[in-house]
Amino acid sequence: MTPSHTRVNPIGEIVNHKEIVVCAGSGGVGKTTTAAAIALQAALDGKKVAVLTIDPAKRLASSLGLKELTNEPSKVNKRKFSSASLEMKGELWALMLDTKTTFDEVVTRYAPSPEQAERILANRFYRNISSTLSGTQEYMAMEKLYELHAGGEFDIIVIDTPPTRNALDFLDAPRRLTDFFESRVLRWFLMPYMKAGSGIFRVANIAATTFLRVVKRIIGGDVLQDTAEFFSNLEGMYDGFKERAREVSALLQSAATSFVIVTSPGEDSVMEATFFAARLNEAGLPFGALIVNRVHPRFGDGVDVKPRQLAKLEKLGEHGQLLAKLIDNEEAFMRVVRLEEKNLNALARKIPRHRWVRVPYLEQEAIDFRGLSLIADKLFEA
Amino acid sequence: MQVDEFLDPKILIVSGKGGVGKTTVAAALALVAARHGRKVCMAEIDRKGTLPKLFGGGDVTYEPRELSPGVWGLSIIPEDALAEYLRVQYHMSRISRAFRSTHFVDYITTAAPGLKDILVLGKIWYLEQDEDHGGGAPGFDTIVVDAPAAGHMATFLKAPQGLADAVRVGPVRRQSEWLNDMLTDPKRSRVHLVTLAEEMPVTETLETSEALVKDLGIMQGAVFANAIYSRLLTDEEAEEFEKIAADGKIDELYDVAQTAGVKLDDDDLEALHGYAHFLKVRRGIQAPHLAKLRKGVTQPVIELPFLFSAGLALPDIETLADVIEERMESL
């Protein structure tokens, strides 16, 4: 055992004690790369790890062995690690979420009969859901996560969250989707298209019919027919969906899970990270660590040069001009560094620094295992 | 190219992957247009909320509001667009309120994918036509659309064609043709793409650019390569500095500094070196992506500088607008 008086690295702590790591944050902050780096390190250290990614860069995907879209975990070949001079003690498995296939599996699972499942899968409205309805991808990511965890095959699962407009969206996704399936407004409007109809419903139908005439004109009658069919086929499956959504929520709230918020030091993503931390807290979801990516490095405390002196330097020959340019450059970067620090100080008032890990800009892109392991070194640094 | 020629189409659609600074570039374009005497409307789609932040607070709603002199902003929300459509088209203002009820727009846009996009484009069409319509918002000379992320771009712009194929007759058919005409007429609209010099955004930009030309026949404007580390210092200069240090001639620099009255200590020198090296490395990472971008697209690539800031504020957008204006003149 290492003595515990040194700072405990929050990421290391999570990887050692948790079964699920959810990486969340706004778009463009390096969520996917971070998830891959955490998974890689956990596997190198001897765990059997699955990394579930949503939308990886092509070169990262191919280094993970995900050239073809696959919704089932596949093991990354050991040779890939040795050729990057990494010693792999565990196993790294990777998969890329396929929203449509996952949804099909859900439908098949909850349908009372294979025939009913088939009717739903063939329905046009259903086929549109996975590609157009917002929240579906998030919901299916959680579903896939639950399934992987329940399978019990992996020591730890690291998941990257979809690039939503706003990082909070995916927390609401399961509820939004069950609401969507259950809304009574919808069934009221579709009543004329549904088979059965009691007396009370017929009264409601007069208003609904006027309304539907307009809708029909806009989107077409056959489309409405499809929609009505879809919802009538879905009857009796709601309880299954809801039950599962409850189980997923319970898993996310359990001690097995840890949320890692990924941010950059930019004002926008820092604000988003702050909101996100508050939302996790409200929802009773376990926050584990904050990863601050893409921080500009700080060298020194800033050179003290007045504009007048700079002007003078520029007149002092080649060396003077070179020095003036170097100073210009340094001042520009120090300006960014100070602004970033200001944003991060505000963040520190909401999330204590001992839960932070900073990852500075590295000298190469993380597109292969070599690059990922450099990031992992920073992530797990004590 | 003259700036006026660049701004000629009334509708400027700006798209790019999330996190590349799409809204910032759209705002800078709006400022450029405003500087050239145009009355500009900036349309954000589906409550993104970055637009008001850029212009210093206040909500942006479905009703256009002046954000800064000459620049107006509105947020196009599909629910509102549908309500407006029903009111104008079918005089159904009362019943259209029901459309705003939870999920209703979700249902019909899932039933007819593309309808959401049509509603948004329809609103843009209204804005474009507005000089002839009484009431409503005042007529705009330029409409800058902060469009959906590039991945969704082709679907977004293809929506009218899709609807025209699905609905063979009637008013909806006619209207979707109007929208398609609006998008494919280079005198009326132009699409600008924004990217970073990084792998994912460049790949997506190349794909979108190809789809726009091939599948849609839509006129493309420029590709803006955002946040390029500018040349405050060339690689050669950074190397020269490293050589001076390696040759043990650093004292010569101290001497020059002293002559100018600048006090430099070892830490300062290290900082100068650190940032010179950092700049070189970052540019080295960006360069191949930029090259790939230039090689892969036919339209002009306009490099926009990394702003050495860490937030979004009007002065930054003004700076970008300066650069855009300058680059457009030299195209």
Kindly state the percentage of chain B with pLDDT values over 70.
Answer: 90
Indicate if B250 and B207 belong to the same structural domain: no
* Interface touch B285/A365, C-beta < 8 Å: yes
CATH for B297: 3.40.50.300
Indicate if B226 and B107 belong to the same structural domain: yes
Q: At what angle do helices B250-259 and A317-348 cross, to 10 degrees?
A: 90
Test mutation, B110, B167, B289, chain A, max A CBs within 10 A: B110
A310: confidence class by pLDDT, cuts 50, 70, 90: very high
Indicate if B269 and B295 belong to the same structural domain: no
* Interface touch A27/B272, C-beta < 8 Å: no
* Interface touch A185/B279, C-beta < 8 Å: no
- B296 CA: distance to closest CA in chain A (Å): 17
* Interface touch B103/A183, C-beta < 8 Å: yes
User: pTM of the entire structure?
Assistant: 0.89
Predicted pLDDT of residue A15? 96
Test mutation, B99, B256, B263, B279, chain A, max A CBs within 10 A: B256
Please state, in angstroms and rounded to a whole number, the distance separating the CA atoms of residues A265 and A358. 10
Test mutation, B82, B107, B179, chain A, max A CBs within 10 A: B107
Please state, in angstroms and rounded to a whole number, the distance separating the CA atoms of residues B326 and B331. 9
SS3 for chain B is: CCHHHHCCCCEEEEEECCCCCHHHHHHHHHHHHHHCCCCEEEEEECCCCHHHHHCCCCCCCCCCEEEECCEEEEEECHHHHHHHHHHHHHCCHHHHHHHHCCCHHHHHHHHCCCHHHHHHHHHHHHHHHCCCCCCCCCCCCEEEEECCCHHHHHHHHHHHHHHHHHCCCHHHHHHHHHHHHHHHCCCCEEEEEEEECCHHHHHHHHHHHHHHHHHHCCCEEEEEEEEECCCCCCHHHHHHHHHHHHCCCHHHHHHHHHHCCCCCCHHHHHHHHHHHHHHHHHHHHHHHHHHHHHHHCCCCEEEEECCCCCCCCHHHHHHHHHHHHHHHHCC
| Phi, psi angle pair for B223, to nearest 5° | -105, 120
pLDDT of residue B61 exceeding 90? no
* Domain tally, chain B: 2
User: pLDDT by residue (tens digit) across B300-309?
Assistant: 999 999 998 8
Indicate if B81 and B194 belong to the same structural domain: yes
Predicted pLDDT of residue B166? 67
Among B24, B58, B68, B46, smallest CA distance to A267 is for: B24
Residue type at position B84: E
Q: Note whether residue B138 is domain-resident.
A: yes
For B251, the closest chain A residue by CA position comes to: A319
B309/A196: higher pLDDT: B309
pLDDT of residue A201 exceeding 90? no
* Interface touch A125/B270, C-beta < 8 Å: no
Q: Note whether residue B193 is domain-resident.
A: yes
pLDDT of residue A85 exceeding 80? yes
Predicted pLDDT of residue A204? 52
CA B274 to chain centre: 33
Considering only the beta carbons, identify the residue of B92, B113, B312 that sits closest to A214. Answer: B92
User: pLDDT by residue (tens digit) across B186-234?
Assistant: 899 999 999 999 988 898 899 888 888 787 777 788 999 999 998 789 9
A191/B150: higher pLDDT: A191
| Phi, psi angle pair for A124, to nearest 5° | -65, -40
- B231 CA: distance to closest CA in chain A (Å): 9
For A344, the closest chain B residue by CA position comes to: B310
Please state, in angstroms and rounded to a whole number, the distance separating the CA atoms of residues A362 and A371. 9
Q: Note whether residue B99 is domain-resident.
A: yes
- A250 CA: distance to closest CA in chain B (Å): 26
Q: Note whether residue B215 is domain-resident.
A: yes
Indicate if B212 and B244 belong to the same structural domain: no
Indicate if B140 and B266 belong to the same structural domain: no
Indicate if B219 and B240 belong to the same structural domain: no
Q: Note whether residue B78 is domain-resident.
A: yes
Among B293, B289, B313, B272, smallest CA distance to B24 is for: B313
Indicate if B145 and B218 belong to the same structural domain: yes
Indicate if B268 and B139 belong to the same structural domain: no
* Interface touch A339/B199, C-beta < 8 Å: no
A198: confidence class by pLDDT, cuts 50, 70, 90: very low
CB B271 within 8 A of CB A328: no
Range of the domain at B219: 3-230+287-330
A1: confidence class by pLDDT, cuts 50, 70, 90: very low
Q: Note whether residue B117 is domain-resident.
A: yes
Q: At what angle do helices A317-348 and A267-282 cross, to 10 degrees?
A: 20
Predicted pLDDT of residue B216? 78
CB B10 within 8 A of CB B141: yes
* Interface touch B115/A313, C-beta < 8 Å: no
Please state, in angstroms and rounded to a whole number, the distance separating the CA atoms of residues A337 and A262. 19
Give me B320's structure tokens: 């970008």
* Interface touch A299/B309, C-beta < 8 Å: no
CA A375 to chain centre: 18
A227: confidence class by pLDDT, cuts 50, 70, 90: confident
Q: Note whether residue B280 is domain-resident.
A: no
Q: Note whether residue B58 is domain-resident.
A: yes
CB B102 within 8 A of CB B110: no
CB A300 within 8 A of CB B276: no
CA A378 to chain centre: 21
Predicted pLDDT of residue A4? 46
Please state, in angstroms and rounded to a whole number, the distance separating the CA atoms of residues B203 and B96. 42
A268/A326: higher pLDDT: A326
Residues in chain B within 8 Å Cβ distance of A296: 278
B99: confidence class by pLDDT, cuts 50, 70, 90: low
